[in-house]
């Protein structure tokens, strides 16, 4: 950070502000503390007649790999609204968001992933701006070696196992870094 977004000063410091317990960017001119917080990624496991809706990414990171529809939460929306919006933006599908399903903490990249179970309302889908393809996959047709992120693979594996028992518990896990290339292989 080079400038204060509050007053424009170029005297930004990085130290522990008075009354705090960790280093942060702060402005000595206006005393504004610039907090940096984790990004929340919301998504869905959108199902239609026993098939899961996946999108092929047309953007980095992991361009050309398949994923569940998900993305950064926006201000002014709930987790569920964000999951539904991302499904629409990436797969042009209207989804009925139901239960919270998986939560993954990725502190090494300052992200939290939250996936909900969902049902594609009318079976219709398409290709959104951040996707190069979209499709419904039978659970035995999932392109495991072409999934974009470990959290997607974990969520889909949980779903397949849970479907056999017809029980869908909420899971909360931490995902550790994978070498220098985070999130490039299923963990």
Q: Tell me, what CATH number does 78's domain have?
A: 3.90.79.10
Q: What is the pLDDT of residue 182?
A: 42
Task: Tell me the two tokens of residue 113.
Answer: 């992933």
Same domain, 31 and 44: no
Amino acid 178: pLDDT: 79
- Residue 183 domain-assigned? no
pLDDT at 184: 39
Residues 1 and 50 in one domain: no
* 69 plus 148 within the same structural domain: yes
Q: Do 53 and 119 share a domain, yes or no?
A: yes
- Do residue 45 and residue 5 come from a single domain? no
pTM over 0.85: yes
Q: Is there a domain that residue 180 lies in?
A: no
Q: Which two tokens stand for residue 47?
A: 């199902």
For residues 32 and 58, state if they share a domain. no
**Count of domains for the chain:** 2
Structural domain includes residue 181: no
Give yes or no: residues 74 and 145 share one domain.
yes
Q: Which long-range contacts (C-beta less than 8 Å, at least 24 apart) are formed by 173-176?
A: 173/102, 173/103, 173/104, 173/105, 174/104, 174/105, 174/106, 174/107, 175/104, 175/105, 175/106, 175/150, 175/151, 176/108
Judge if 7 and 93 occupy the same domain: no
Does 78 lie in the same domain as 162? yes
pLDDT at 187: 36
Answer whether residue 138 is part of any domain: yes
pLDDT at 16: 94
Same domain, 61 and 78: yes
The token pair at 67 is: 């994923």
Q: Is 110 a member of any domain? A: yes
Give pLDDT tens digits along the chain (187 positions): 899 999 999 999 999 988 899 999 999 999 999 999 999 999 999 999 999 999 999 999 999 999 999 999 999 999 999 999 999 999 999 999 999 999 999 999 999 999 999 999 999 999 999 999 999 999 999 999 999 999 999 999 999 999 999 999 999 999 999 764 444 333 3
- Residues 77 and 142 placed together within one structural domain of the fold: yes
User: Is residue 21 situated within a structural domain?
Assistant: yes
Nearest C-alpha neighbor of 109 from the set 74, 72, 145: 72
Looking at the domain assignment, is residue 83 inside a domain? yes
Is 18 found in the same domain as 69?
no
Q: Return d(Cα 130, Cα 127) in angstroms, integer.
A: 8
Q: Is residue 113 part of a domain?
A: yes
Domain that holds residue 22: 1-36
Cβ 132 vs Cβ 56: under 8 Å: yes
């Amino acid at each position: 950070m080079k400038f204060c977004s509050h007053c424009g000063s170029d005297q930004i410091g990085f130290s522990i502000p008075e009354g705090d317990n960790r280093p942060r960017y702060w402005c000595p001119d206006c005393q504004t503390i610039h907090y940096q917080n984790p990004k929340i990624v919301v998504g869905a496991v959108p199902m239609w007649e026993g098939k899961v809706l996946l999108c092929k990414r047309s953007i980095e990171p992991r361009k050309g790999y398949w994923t569940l529809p998900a993305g950064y939460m926006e201000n002014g929306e709930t987790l569920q609204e964000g999951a539904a919006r991302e499904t629409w933006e990436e797969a042009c599908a209207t989804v009925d968001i139901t239960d919270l399903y998986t939560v993954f903490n990725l502190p090494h990249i300052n992200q939290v992933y939250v996936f909900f179970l969902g049902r594609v309302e009318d079976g219709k889908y398409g290709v959104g701006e951040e996707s190069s393809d979209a499709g419904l996959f039978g659970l035995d047709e999932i392109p495991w070696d072409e999934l974009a992120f470990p959290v997607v693979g974990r969520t889909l594996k949980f779903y397949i196992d849970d479907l056999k028992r017809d029980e869908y518990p909420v899971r909360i896990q931490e995902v550790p870094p994978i070498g220098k290339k985070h999130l490039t292989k299923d963990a």
